[in-house]
Chains A and B, each alone.
Chain A
Amino acid sequence: METITDQNWLLSVGTFLPLVGVLVMMVIPRAEEQLHKLVTIVASGATLAVGIYTATQFDFDRANAMQFYVNEEWIEVIRSNYALGLDGISMPLYLLSMVITFLVAIYTWDNMPEAGNPKAFGILMLVLQVGLAGTFVAQDLVLFFVFFEVVLLPMYFMIGVWGGAQRQYASLKFFLYTMFGSALMLVSILALFFQTGGESFGFLHFLDVAGTLDRDVQVWIFAGFFVGFAVKVPMFPFHTWLPDAHTEAPTQGSVILAAIMLKLGTYGFVRIAIPFLPNGAREWAPVIGILAVIGIIYGALGCLAQTDMKRLIAFSSVAHMGFTMLGISTLTEFGINAAIFGMVAHGLITGMLFFVAGSVKHRYHTLEISRLGGLLVSMPRLGWILGFCAMASLGLPGLAGFWGEFPAILSAYQPGFGLSEELYRVLMVIAAVGTVFAAGYLLWLYQRTAFGEPKAEFAQPVHSVSAAVNQEHDDDDHHVELHDVNRIEWIAWTPILVAIVALGIYPKLLFDITDPAVSDLVARLGEHLQP
């Protein structure tokens, strides 16, 4: 793979800039709550600015090359380097992480979760961002693993301290699942290192020697990576942490989890497991495909059974990530492009759905679907946004969700590298049925929450007065006053809504970035595959 080393300080700055915010916040006393929120916003905003500047400097004509490539000695004794790089596969996710963290920081201005303490919350969020961005640009397995793990503790505390009633159980479950996955992944990382001669942990090195490994060895090493990444995605049957974690997490945690953290798993497959272990990937692809489709159907059925809005959205993630994994498992250019598009689209749409759920919870103090109703009457704007996101999520053409789902299903028609066409066509049909389910549960959710008249307990005249006045009463359970989308929410949400439409109407925007890198990846796969 070719590398471009111009302006190679950019990625380091973009990744570690949030830490400056952390340092600043550490010296500010805890009582300065608004100031802490402001620093969080400024730090994540500055990070995003660096990210956008990086995007402007990115050479889109050579999106298949590793750009801004840094490769400095880090721990020479184990031949691990500090290597960062950005190509068309990393770029969208790297930017996505920055955008989402920034918007979440803005959202927090008005919507601090109950436990309070914006200082700690903001610090955790910024540390989390470092781990997320770092994972997407790391070009060395040890460095990747370090970033991958950095994410773990902040999220654990975010769920455990600021979460709902069952937060301790949910956070522990999340931690143990992920820890278990990482342990197996670490074994695979070491095995890969020693089996390829113990020369380097660099991604580029592994790409060069990919395929020289014995087929059986590849299959075993892939197994470790598979579990490590599948837990994160999450794929059926490793998904059970997700509904609990999502439901109990504070809104901010849910959004970051859904929008970015789940992508660490799928990204790992695309960046590491498949290209480094071509034969392992081919042997495992049918398993991944089958589990992905089980996930689609299982997630959809799970959604239909939920009575809690947030839990329903959480289950829908299992289904959506199923489409992404199905696309990846075809090992085709088409499928993997669709998968990356699906990651971004799911990040925006489901992130947005969790925002809406958070705002509903903030106003109604419940997410019981049976108690909600008449959103369109009591809060028309919020109701419309929910409807818009539901449409996007079910894959309505013209919105971003469509371009993640539809090509992924299509790609299963003709899987690559001699994978069984019969199997994949069956999978394709089942996945297509899954989209119908998706329409079912999302529309049903929308119908129950948004249509009709508001339930008696929440019935009241519609407020059109300024939201700020009502907000002071929000903590009072006995006297719920509903107000529509307020200014902060508009600021935080508009970019996401615009992006969903923009990517839906003009998907080339994203496909153009990812395609060169993906086609290189698939071509290399073909070269390295042993018969």
Chain B
Amino acid sequence: MTGLITSLIAQSGEWQAPTIDWHAIAPELVLIVGINLVLFIDLWIDESRKWAMATLTGIVLLAAFVPTVTLAVTGDDVRSMFDERYVIDNYALVLKALFLLVGYVVVLMSQTQLEEGGYYQGEFYVLMLASVLGMVMMTSSRDLVSMFVALELLSVPAYMLAAWRKRDGRSNEAGVKYYLLGVFASGVMLYGMSLIFGTTGSTKLVDIARSLGEGDLIAIQVLGVTFVIIGFAFKISAVPFHTWAPDTYEGAPTPVTAFLSVASKAAGFVAISSLVFIAFPAADEVYQPLLWVLSALTMTIGNLIALRQTNMVRMLAYSSVSQGGFILMPLAVAGSGDAAEPALKAVVVYLLIYAFTNLGAFAVVIAAARKTPSGSISSFGGLFVYAPGLTVLMTIFLASLAGVPPLGGWFAKFGAFRAVLEADTNAGYALAVVGAVNTVIATAYYMKVMRVMWMADVPDGDITPVVTPAPVQAALAITAAGTLALGVLPSLVVRFGDIADLSGALGR
């Protein structure tokens, strides 16, 4: 022990401050400054002016967007820091932009609800910004440790956000369930990471790849890879690790649910993609079957349970579980044949399109909430009569989730199918069949909601028009525009997610 300490002290003498590329981590820095600003201003601001916190949070997120854009336009060179453990490449940038945008839309969605509920607005936004910071960091993490730190940073605030309505039993249940299972998943993942570190001698993803590629995997490494992926499988609520999701989604305030089902899930996928493409290319015989099973189960079980839901948010929760299965689909063949390239693209494009669409669906639920307090699907009956605009928007979002052209979802699904077919393996074709069947099943429950909205009678006969608050209108406009534009012109996003953008992928 003393020996270790002395050696550490000895090393410290040679310690040098790492060179920091200030431009490259500007988005993170802006967020950090913003978190502190929101925290302090909230302490001093008058109660009647709390609404300003939402605006401020929005400004912080947009401000963080600026360096993301400038980084993207100034050259293609990959910027890396901290011994190449924190990398800002195009892959990271597009996903950073995604998380910032999602954060912004969620702020728009939560504003009115928080003001009306009188819930600790300042704290809410601080935690949300912290969570977004974790996600933004996740996109650049190329090391098991920084990945873990990012994961905890994004998760811990989310646990609290889920329990935000503290006098509501279900919200508390949502938070506790999410917390317990989340911590358990972290434990499993950490154990897996320690096994990998122990057998490869490094936490850096590219080094792990090199070490795993040297010979056949040993049993402990197989275990390590499996545990790490299972840890993230909790985050993306893949079946059978999804059990927290429906209760948490239903109990949490709706904007938080939207945030969890889109941003938090996407962060999980970002981590899995980084691992699969950078750290585990040599372990394809381990992760491919694992992800194949997860993907098939997630799609199928998520869909079958969604079919039977009577509560709108729960239905959307299970639908988002099953969408997760579709996003896993290309990853399950990422190591076969020529599939790596279309697979990464499919995941990134799917995440982008899914973000717009799913956020939009939740925004409609929030907008219609005053008329549908029970949240049951049947309470949306006749929405078309008194809120035609919301109905049309919801139809667009649901049809996009179902994959009906020309709305965004079709291209996302198309990309996923293309990747598994391009793998040209039996496993790939089998997964494509599972996916195709699930597409049709999913259509059934999306159609059910559309039918209720357009064709059923208004349950309580009250047809006074719904007034949508301006921020929610803005959220709807952004998400609907994204859903439509990406469906008609998918080439807007297909340039993202090139395998060449992800530095170090497949040992390159």
Contacts and interface: CB of A to CB of B under 8 A. Distances in A.
Contacts of B440: 179-180, 183
A417 interface: no
B494 A77 contact: yes
Given A146-B405, A168-B455, 14 more contacts: A74-B489, A74-B491, A77-B494, A77-B495, A120-B388, A146-B410, A149-B406, A150-B405, A153-B404, A161-B384, A175-B447, A179-B443, A183-B439, A190-B421
B421 A194 contact: yes
Contact of B405 (A149, A175, A187): A149
A120 to B, nearest CB: 6
B242 interface: no
A161 B454 contact: yes
Interface residues of A, number: 30
B399 A153 contact: yes
- Interface residue range, chain B: 20 to 34
Contacts of A465: none
B406 A146 contact: yes
A157 interface: yes
Contacts of B405: 145-146, 149-150
A77 B345 contact: yes
Interface string A356-374: 0000000000000000000
Nearest to A191: B421
Interface stretch (B42-50, B217-225, B308-316, B411-419): B411-419
A75 interface: yes
A160 B455 contact: yes
A203 to B, nearest CB: 18
A175 B491 CA distance: 29
B436 interface: yes
Contacts of B395: 153
For the complex of A and B, 6 pairs with smallest distance between CB atoms: A146-B405, A77-B494, A149-B405, A160-B455, A146-B406, A75-B490
B91 to A, nearest CB: 16
A269 to B, nearest CB: 21
A61 interface: no
Contacts of B417: 190
Contacts of B23: none
B451 interface: yes
Contacts of A146: 405-406, 410
Contact of A30 (B388, B421, B447): B388
A459 interface: no
Given A179-B440, A179-B443, A183-B439, A157 B491 contact: no
Considering residues A75, A77, A153, A180, which has the most beta carbons from chain B within 10 angstroms of its beta carbon?
A77
Interface of B: 345, 384, 388, 395, 399, 404-406, 410-411, 414-415, 417-418, 421-422, 436, 439-440, 443, 447, 451, 454-455, 489-491, 494-495
A182 to B, nearest CB: 9
Given A75-B494, A160-B451, A183 B436 contact: yes
A346 interface: no
A160 B439 contact: no
A189 to B, nearest CB: 10
Contacts of B454: 157, 160-161
Contacts of A145: 405
A168 B490 contact: no
A45 B388 CA distance: 26
Contacts of B494: 75-78
6 contacts: A75-B494, A78-B414, A150-B405, A152-B404, A171-B455, A179-B443
Contact of A172 (B406, B410, B451, B490): B451
B411 A75 contact: yes
A208 to B, nearest CB: 22
A75 B491 contact: yes
Contacts of A157: 454
Interface of A: 30, 73-78, 117, 119-120, 145-146, 149-150, 152-153, 157, 160-161, 167-168, 171-172, 175, 179-180, 183, 187, 190, 194
Given A172-B447, A179-B440, A180-B440, A149 B345 contact: no
A78 B388 contact: no
Contacts of B455: 160-161, 167-168, 171
A174 to B, nearest CB: 11
A104 B418 CA distance: 40
B406 A150 contact: yes
A144 to B, nearest CB: 10
Contact of A190 (B388, B404, B418, B490): B418
Contacts of B404: 149, 152-153
Contacts of A179: 440, 443
A179 B404 CA distance: 9
A35 B443 CA distance: 35
Contacts of B447: 172, 175
Contacts of A183: 436, 439-440
A74 B405 CA distance: 15
A76 B498 CA distance: 13
A194 to B, nearest CB: 6
Nearest to B414: A78
B488 to A, nearest CB: 8
A505 B298 CA distance: 62
Given A161-B454, A183-B436, A187-B436, A78 B406 contact: no
Nearest to B385: A117
Contacts of A150: 405-406
Contacts of B422: 194
A77 B349 CA distance: 12
Contacts of B443: 179
A168 B451 contact: yes
A190 B417 CA distance: 9
A113 to B, nearest CB: 13
Nearest to A180: B440
A167 B418 CA distance: 37
B385 to A, nearest CB: 9
Nearest to A179: B443
Contacts of A168: 451, 455
Contact of A77 (B384, B388, B436, B491): B491
A138 to B, nearest CB: 12
Nearest to A76: B491
A175 B399 CA distance: 13
Contacts of A194: 421-422
A145 B454 CA distance: 25
